[in-house]
Amino acid sequence: MVLPPGLAGRDPDRQLRQRAQFRAGHAPGPEQCQLRVGRRREIGDGRLRLQSRRLELCAGRGDLGHGADPPRPARICRLALFLAAARICAGRRGDQLHVPRARHRPALPQGREVRAVLAFLLLASAAGAPAATVGRAFYGTTLDGQRVDQVTLRNARGMTVRIIDYGAIVTDVVVPDSRGTKANVVLGFGNLADYQKHNPDYQFGAVIGRFAGRIAGGRFSIDGRPVQLARNDGPNSLHGGPGGIETRVWAMRTFAGKGGAGAELTVRSPAGDQAFPGAVDVRVRYTLTDDDQLRIDYRAASDAPTVVNLTNHSYFNLAGAGSGSVLGHRLQLGSPQLIETDEHGIPSGRLLAVAGTPFDFRAAHSLGSRIGVAHPQLVGRHGYNHGWWLGAGGTLRRAGTLTDPISGRAVDVSTSEPSITIYTAGYMAGKDIGAQGTPYRAFDGVALETQHVSDSPNQPRWPSTALRPGKPFETTTVYRFHAGPPAPARLAMTIDDLPLHGPIPANETPLSVGRRTIAALRTAGLTSVMGMINGHWTADQPVTLQVLKEWRAAGLPLGNHTWSHLNLNQLSPEQFAAEVARNEPLLARLEPAGDWHWLRYPFLSEGDDPAKRASARAVLKAHGYKIAAVTTGFDDWAYTAPYARCVAKNDQAGIAELTRLYLQSAEESIRFARTLSWAVEDREIPFVLLQHSGALDSYLLPRLVAIYRRNGVRFVSLPEAERDPFYARDVDPGLPGPANLESRAAARGIPLPYRASVMDRLAAICA
């Protein structure tokens, strides 16, 4: 390596006094990096020691001294020094390294001298590196042949934002949760072709203009001049009509500096564009700061009187884009007033007090918990698609906070705009595939659109959207991302169909499956998992009684699943009572001192008419039973038969696919249950999990437990879970029931999160 001029001499005093100037990298403007060297100073995880006759850089066990060939860590450190020397002060052009005068020492040998200089250079490079970075790469080519680039903004904390110059679209906002797990929290497509083809229906991440929101009849006047826009939303114009600036390729430049990095995008909308008068120059500046703020500064200037209303149309899902419904997200808005609109979304000119309505988010609550309330402003709206009044605007102030209680991720919204529109994406129909490879369905995201009020050009009571020459439109919105501790989750595991859930593979026995299950529970420390028994197996196959004995020997409790596992829909009340009673002597022998008065309905059927349900509950009440509810599960029973088929055929690929689907379904099921709990109850209930005693279940039980624990679950007993008030109708069958999460959602008009079925795929595996 050739040293810069002036550093090749052997006099260390002169070397330490000189300034070494380097030119490298692309960033404009000089910066200075200073390094002070004392007799001993800690720097990062290394130690720089300047002694009378030698300089050493110690990193871990590596020592860059002389003598024999250094150990491998030292060689790695040496290589790092040489590489770092080429990028002093993180590539800043004209940077200077200043080293204060040191007292005279004997000349260092040439090799040590080189290493001393390189050590200084490495430390100077680290000291001068900017916190935020910007990258730019080719993204695609539009249908008319224009190049589209994507920029990547990354701050010192690891947050990442990606933007393309087509539509000034924010394609990614990647943020960590409180445990450091990162996720992209905005919806979008995976390629430019999909953005061009499908995004006119959604405007994912795009800057909307010329006019965000609706204009009644598509008509307005500016200085007495009538303007007619395209009507693309029933009788009205939405977002200025088709072909707005969200479909154009913008000019884009990037910047980075102390505290942040960003991209500035500009586009010209010519006079007559979308039928709007005046040529308008739009500038949008995205800045990602080192404190995890995404700041958006908008500016528009026109050469003739016109109107303008700009916003960003990102849809947020703080659990991660493509993860399902956001109705469990909690929203807090400080606004006490809703902008009243007609059935077409056109403001009436009135402000409604939110107190006592489903629009009152002054205290945070979930998006789903009141979305089904009967209210004139919710009729026919497919959820929330409304504007809240924030005040006349002009100054940046906080509008609200959106939180995903499951991951702990949150975003605060501040804006200088006079209103914020909350759109829960109720019109998305699952017809288009997002970047994550899954369809986006209704309520899979929520847009937080800061903007002027819809139809402002026709309603002078609202802040004006008129844009005149020499008086530019300027506004700012800031999204600040952060994460708190996730909501705690509790879950009681129960296992049905003991002592045998079949069919079982030919190489297995009920005892081998049972013992594997018991061992897995013991290893996981789960000693309160209740097993629900069908006693007829002990009569039909006496060997199965040993499974129940060993279950009890492990300290695991038992409950009643009826003697024969018959469907209550096919039984009279007397037959049902007999099925329950016939199991009791066996339970009493196995658990004489325990509370086995817990009943799990076979097939989860409580009766197919009100009279049958009432009589069944009366039987249970009379015999002192509590109902073992089910609030989460993933139809694990359906894997039992295909697994037996695959084992019989020695089809390892089939077994691998079953395993993949099983574990994937388990993960999706707990997310579904937690989201539904927040959407319906606005809190996290303790869940009761239904599992079965199948052969594949027994093999995968350790991995299943790991999945739940990775999702923040703490395992509890069934009695502890059902002490929660949610289960009041289960612990007291004298109350009317049933009342699970799904039935409560239906009763309150709350849309259920989408849940994929794997039944067809299971039927085909090893068939």
Q: Residue 606 in contact with residue 616, Cβ under 8 Å?
A: yes
Candidates 592, 579, 575; CA nearest to 533 is 579
DSSP for 141-158 reads E-TTS-EEEEEEEE-TTS
Q: What are phi and psi of 96, to 5 degrees?
A: -130, 145
Q: Residue 193 in contact with residue 140, Cβ under 8 Å?
A: yes
The helix (run of H) or strand (run of E) holding residue 80 is helix 72-85
Q: Residue 127, exposed/middle/buried by CB under 10 A (0-12, 13-18, 19+)?
A: middle
Tokens of 389: 């009044």
Residue 121 to residue 566: CA distance in whole angstroms:
79
CA 468 from centroid of its chain's CA atoms: 42
Residue 553 to residue 551: CA distance in whole angstroms:
5
Q: Phi-psi bin for 236: left (phi > 0), alpha (psi -120 to 50), beta?
A: beta
- In the set 417, 449, 508, 681, the catalytic residue is 449
Q: Residue 131 in contact with residue 247, Cβ under 8 Å?
A: no
Residue entry with tokens 């000019």: 251
DSSP for 483-524 reads E-PPPPEEEEEEEEEET--S---TT--HHHHHHHHHHHHHHH
313 classed as catalytic: yes
Q: What are phi and psi of 70, to 5 degrees?
A: -65, 155
- In the set 313, 501, 561, 692, the catalytic residue is 313
* Percent of the chain as helix, strand, coil, to the nearest 5: 30, 30, 40
Q: Between β-strands 237-238 and 214-215, what pairing exists: parallel, antiparallel or unpaired?
A: antiparallel
Tokens of 375: 């209210």
Q: Residue 290 in contact with residue 260, Cβ under 8 Å?
A: yes
Candidates 58, 61, 55; CA nearest to 112 is 55
Indicate if the alpha-carbon torsion angle 670, 673, 676, 678 is positive or negative. Answer: negative
CA 21 from centroid of its chain's CA atoms: 46
Q: Between the CA of residue 421 and those of 397, 463, 655, what are the distances in Å?
A: 16, 16, 49
Q: HSE-up of 365 (CA within 13 Å, CB side)?
A: 14
Residue 49 to residue 63: CA distance in whole angstroms:
11
Candidates 303, 705, 272; CA nearest to 525 is 705
Residue 546 to residue 514: CA distance in whole angstroms:
9
Residue 216 to residue 276: CA distance in whole angstroms:
15
Residue 217 to residue 230: CA distance in whole angstroms:
9
Q: Number of helices and strands (H, E) in the chain? A: 16, 44
657 classed as catalytic: no
Residue entry with tokens 């009761």: 688
Residue 185 to residue 195: CA distance in whole angstroms:
18
Q: Convert 333-383 into a string of H (helix), E (strand) and C (coil).
A: ECCCEEEEECCCCCEEEEEEECCCCCCCCCCCEECCCCCCCCCCCCCCCCC
Residues with catalytic function: 313, 449
